[in-house]
Amino acid sequence: KNEVEQSPQNLTAQEGEFITINCSYSVGISALHWLQQHPGGGIVSLFMLSSGKKKHGRLIATINIQEKHSSLHITASHPRDSAVYICAVRGSGNQFYFGTGTSLTVIP
């Protein structure tokens, strides 16, 4: 069973397109994280959310606690946004659960 499900698994977009990546989870959480893993393997934390919405540059993350769903949006996508985006949640018992990631490729 997967406590965290992401969709789509793979996504190809043209430069400039608006992108949405979805995350659904089945456990009670204290927070949700969006991570970015670059092609070289490094992992960077993009957002940590417990409610509402956060924005950083062209990235927007939203969470709906009642529906157990989060979305990551990228506006005006650029080839440098190509990466794997990972949704992770922290459960109530200090457990962390990770989605398997969404591989995004942005074509010039």
Partner 1 sequence: DAGITQSPRYKITETGRQVTLMCHQTWSHSYMFWYRQDLGHGLRLIYYSAAADITDKGEVPDGYVVSRSKTENFPLTLESATRSQTSVYFCASSENRGVYSYEQYFGPGTRLTVT
Point out which residues bind partner 1 (CB under 8 A).
4, 30-31, 33, 35, 41-45, 48, 50, 86, 88, 90, 94-96, 98-101
Question: Minimum Å distance from CB 47 to partner 1?
Answer: 9
Tokens of 2: 């997967």
Toward partner 1, which CB reaches closer, 4 or 21?
4
Question: Minimum Å distance from CB 51 to partner 1?
Answer: 11
**Rounded to whole angstroms, what are the CA distances from 80 to 18, 83, 85, 92, 104?**
14, 8, 13, 35, 10
